[in-house]
Amino acid sequence: MSKVGDVVSAIRAGELVVIPTDTVYGLACDAYREESARALSELKRRELGQPIALVIASVDSLLDCIPELGEAIALLLALLPGPFTLVLPNPARRYPWLTGDRPDTIGVRVPDVDGRAAEILNAVGPIAATSANRHGERDPRRLEDVPPEILGQLGHKVQHALRAFTPEDDAALKAAARTFPKTDLYDVQQTLT
């Protein structure tokens, strides 16, 4: 199996993985598995009431997961794919294990990635993801910035597969960091109501 295949298999099996996005390295899991999302929060040492973003390969796939977002299609197409986490209305209260204490909203991302990261997202579908660091610590823009205690909790095959994500992915993250502002949260709750 390929290294990308190892990561995809791990996600499908409910394991946690680390993958590059267009902004930072992310700690990710299957978005459909509540127990995986809980494990992600625990590994990050963050409160279970804090939301986790739903990350997906395309706006079309996002609308398949949350059809109610069709009302915001112009906004979605204007900002995504890109380095933004959009906090949008979630009237059907989908993915309650990702919404934290705000079930009426959900954070969504469609990162602007290519290469191996795009292969993973296209193969696995929606993932739950947050930065691959301990809560409140510096965002990991390079694989070596991911804390060893997080990397050490990943399965052996995933640890091996991560070697495929350097250094070109690190260079892409550096370029994205120079291109986009630090703020990556755009709350459109007021815009859509």
Q: What is the pLDDT of residues 9-68, one digit of tens each?
A: 999 999 999 999 999 999 999 999 999 999 999 999 999 899 999 999 999 999 999 999
- Please tell me the predicted confidence (pLDDT) of residue 177: 46
The number of domains in the chain is 1
- Structure confidence by residue, pLDDT tens digits, 127-184: 999 999 998 999 999 888 999 999 888 876 676 556 666 555 555 554 544 444 444 3
- Please tell me the predicted confidence (pLDDT) of residue 163: 65
Cα–Cα–Cα angle for 111, 114, 117, nearest 5°?
75
DSSP secondary structure code for residue 125 in this structure: -
- Please tell me the predicted confidence (pLDDT) of residue 169: 52
- Please tell me the predicted confidence (pLDDT) of residue 168: 59
Which of 154, 127, 155, 131 has its CA nearest to residue 50?
131
The arithmetic mean of pLDDT across residues 96-113, rounded, is: 96
Q: What is the CATH number of the domain that holds 159?
A: 3.90.870.10
The arithmetic mean of pLDDT across residues 83-107, rounded, is: 96
- Identify whether the C-beta of residue 132 lies closer than 8 Å to the C-beta of residue 148: no
Please name the residues in contact with 117: beta carbons below 8 A apart, sequence gap of 6 or more.
19, 20, 21, 111, 165, 169
Distance CA 137, CA 25 (A): 13
Q: Is pLDDT at 98 greater than 70 in this prediction?
A: yes
- Please tell me the predicted confidence (pLDDT) of residue 182: 41
Boundaries of domain holding 155: 3-192
| CB-neighbour burial class of residue 176 (10 A; exposed 0-12, middle 13-18, buried 19+) | buried
- Please tell me the predicted confidence (pLDDT) of residue 29: 96
- Please tell me the predicted confidence (pLDDT) of residue 162: 66
State the amino acid at position 111 in one-letter form: P
